[in-house]
């Protein structure tokens, strides 16, 4: 029954118990709406037919409502509306009160990506990993304009406001992958600001988090990590990462494979890039450096010529560090290193 109605109404997967409860109310609302509307329309159609004009000289009686009519007209809808509210409001209140044992994740929206940070641990772009069956509290903020964190499968949405933290929470019930949208218009690539929620089996998640916590570069092949050999982060690479953030490279280039304003950096090194001119070029150190200094020279097919030049802005060792950083990016969805959030005091728990 649930599944039938859900499909009829085009509702997405229900990834949590909360989603099922909200959908329950949804069905109730849609059914009462349809029945009431059908009642009004059936009455109206009956009147159209029964009382259609028979002659141009028809006269009609004056019909005045009795008090009881008006009471019904007001009372009936009011009763239904209040019932909806009585079910919906506690659901909403629940969504506003994360359980005490919830795990925290900091979420930051910025044009046009989602950044997730685990306290004291790793952070990642556009991929949010959470354990199944455990409550997760999201502390959400924004770097620039208002965004809105939205996971349809969870029926959860919360605005990301610059200069403020808002919160919401959920507890996904089984492993799976779900879309994360930005629901508040935020400019050019608003509709491309799509992330992924990866719900992992709890043990796997713990292992993954532990690995990440040690500050490693993550796995090489993108599969979630268990007992990977630890490769200490080199200082040059760290420096490159810092510079890439500082210089705004990461505004347009993702480091996890998602498509952005510019080509992703993951696996870029030694990749064969097709150019707009029809030629192609191997992305070696020379190409990478040249792309920073004279971006208009070789535009990669499918992208716009929007990148500014870094000629004179980057000293040679800095450019080299960024190249080293790019070389180190081999498919992992998660970066290591200390969390960069939160910037503000976290919201105290109730």
Partner 1 sequence: MSPSHASDVPVYNPRNYLNSPATGLKSWLLTQDHKRIGVMFLVAASVFFAVGGLFAMLIRIELLTPGPTIMDAMTYNRLFTLHGVVMIFLFMIPAIPSGFGNFLVPLMLGAKDVAFPKLNLLSFYLYMLGAVVALYGMIHGGADTGWTFYTPYSTTTVTKVVPILLGAFILGFSSILTGLNFIVTTHTMRAPGIGWNRVPLFVWSIYATSIIQILATPVLGMTLLLVAVENAFGWGIFDPARGGDPVLFQHFFWFYSHPAVYIMVLPAMAVISEVVCAFSRKNIFGYKAVAYSSLGIAFVGFFTWGHHLFVSGQSAFDAGVFGVLSMFVGIFTAIKVFNWTATLYQGSIAFKTPFAYFVGFLFFLVFGGMTGVAVATVSLDVHWHDTYFVVAHFHFIMVGATVMAFLAALHYWFPKITGRMYPEGWGLVGAVMVILGFNFTFIPQFLLGNEGMPRRYFSYPERFWALNVASTAGASVLAMGLVIVLVYLLISLKWGPIAGPNPWHSRGYEWDTASPPLPENFEETPVYTRGPHEYDEDSYANPPPVAPEPKHAS
Binders of Cu ion in range 137-176 (CB under 5 A): 147
In this structure, is the dihedral angle defined by the CA atoms of residues 126, 129, 134 and 136, taken in order, positive or negative?
Answer: negative
- Residue 130 bridge partners (DSSP): 199
CA dist 89 and 158 (Å) reads 16
Of 320, 349, 348, 346, the residue nearest 139 (C-alpha): 346
Of 127, 131, 136, 126, the residue nearest 105 (C-alpha): 136
* Residues between 40 and 79 with contacts to partner 1, criterion CB under 8 A: 40-41, 43-44, 47-48, 51-54, 56-65, 69-70, 73-74, 77-78
* Residues between 294 and 323 with contacts to partner 1, criterion CB under 8 A: none
If the CB atoms of residues 48 and 312 are measured against partner 1, the closer one turns out to be 48
- Dmax of the chain from CA atoms? 96
The stretch near partner 1 (CB under 8 A) out of 120-128, 144-152, 230-238, 333-341 is: 144-152
If the CB atoms of residues 180 and 283 are measured against partner 1, the closer one turns out to be 180
CA dist 105 and 139 (Å) reads 6
CA dist 59 and 51 (Å) reads 12
193 in contact with Cu ion (CB under 5 A):
yes
If the CB atoms of residues 54 and 100 are measured against partner 1, the closer one turns out to be 54
Is the separation of the CB atoms in 185 and 201 below 8 Å? no
Is the separation of the CB atoms in 324 and 237 below 8 Å? yes
344 in contact with partner 1 (CB under 8 A):
no
Which of 144, 173, 238, 298 binds partner 1 (CB under 8 A)? It is 144
Contact of residue 126 among Cu ion, partner 1, none (CB under 5-8 Å per partner type): none
113 in contact with Cu ion (CB under 5 A):
no
251 in contact with Cu ion (CB under 5 A):
no
136 in contact with Cu ion (CB under 5 A):
no
- Residue 335 bridge partners (DSSP): 123
330 in contact with partner 1 (CB under 8 A):
no
Of 282, 251, 279, the residue nearest 269 (C-alpha): 282
Of 81, 66, 71, 78, the residue nearest 25 (C-alpha): 81
209 in contact with Cu ion (CB under 5 A):
no
186 in contact with Cu ion (CB under 5 A):
yes
Contact of residue 15 among partner 1, Cu ion, none (CB under 5-8 Å per partner type): none
The stretch near partner 1 (CB under 8 A) out of 149-157, 266-274, 291-299, 309-317 is: 149-157
Contact of residue 146 among Cu ion, partner 1, none (CB under 5-8 Å per partner type): partner 1
Q: Which helix (H) or strand (E) holds 43?
A: helix 17-50
Shortest Cβ 103–partner 1 spacing (Å)? 21
CA dist 18 and 232 (Å) reads 41
Q: Which residues bind Cu ion (CB under 5 A)?
A: 147, 182, 186, 193
């Amino acid at each position: 029954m649930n599944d039938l109605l859900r499909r009829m109404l085009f509702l997405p997967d229900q990834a949590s118990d909360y989603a099922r409860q909200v959908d329950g109310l949804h069905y109730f609302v849609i059914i009462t709406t349809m029945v009431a509307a059908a009642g009004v329309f059936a009455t109206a159609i009956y009147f159209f037919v029964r009382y259609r004009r028979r002659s141009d000289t028809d006269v009609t009686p004056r019909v005045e409502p009795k008090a009881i009519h008006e009471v019904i007209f007001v009372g009936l809808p009011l009763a239904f509306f209040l019932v909806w509210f009585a079910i919906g409001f506690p659901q909403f209140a629940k969504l506003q009160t994360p359980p005490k044992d919830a795990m925290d994740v900091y979420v930051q929206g910025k044009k046009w990506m989602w950044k997730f940070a685990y306290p004291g641990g790793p952070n990642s772009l556009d991929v949010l990993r959470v354990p199944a069956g455990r409550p997760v509290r999201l502390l959400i903020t924004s770097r620039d304009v208002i965004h809105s964190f939205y996971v349809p499968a969870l029926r959860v949405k919360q605005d990301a406001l610059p200069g403020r933290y808002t919160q919401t929470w959920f507890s996904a019930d089984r492993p799976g992958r779900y879309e994360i949208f930005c629901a508040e218009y935020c400019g050019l690539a608003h509709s491309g600001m799509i992330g992924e929620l990866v719900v992992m089996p709890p043990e796997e998640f713990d292992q993954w988090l532990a690995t990440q916590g040690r500050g490693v570069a993550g796995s090489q092949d993108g599969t979630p990590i268990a007992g990977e050999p630890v490769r200490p982060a080199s200082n040059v690479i760290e420096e490159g990462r810092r510079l890439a953030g500082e210089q705004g490279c990461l505004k347009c280039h993702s480091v996890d494979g998602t498509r952005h304003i510019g080509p992703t950096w993951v696996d870029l090194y030694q990749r064969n890039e097709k150019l707009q001119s029809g030629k192609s070029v191997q992305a070696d150190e020379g190409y990478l450096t040249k792309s920073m200094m004279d971006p208009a020279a070789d535009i990669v097919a499918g992208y716009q010529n929007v990148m500014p030049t870094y000629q004179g802005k980057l000293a040679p060792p800095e450019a080299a560090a960024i190249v080293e950083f790019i070389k180190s990016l081999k498919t992992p969805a998660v970066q290591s290193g200390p969390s960069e959030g939160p910037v503000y005091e976290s919201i105290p728990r109730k």
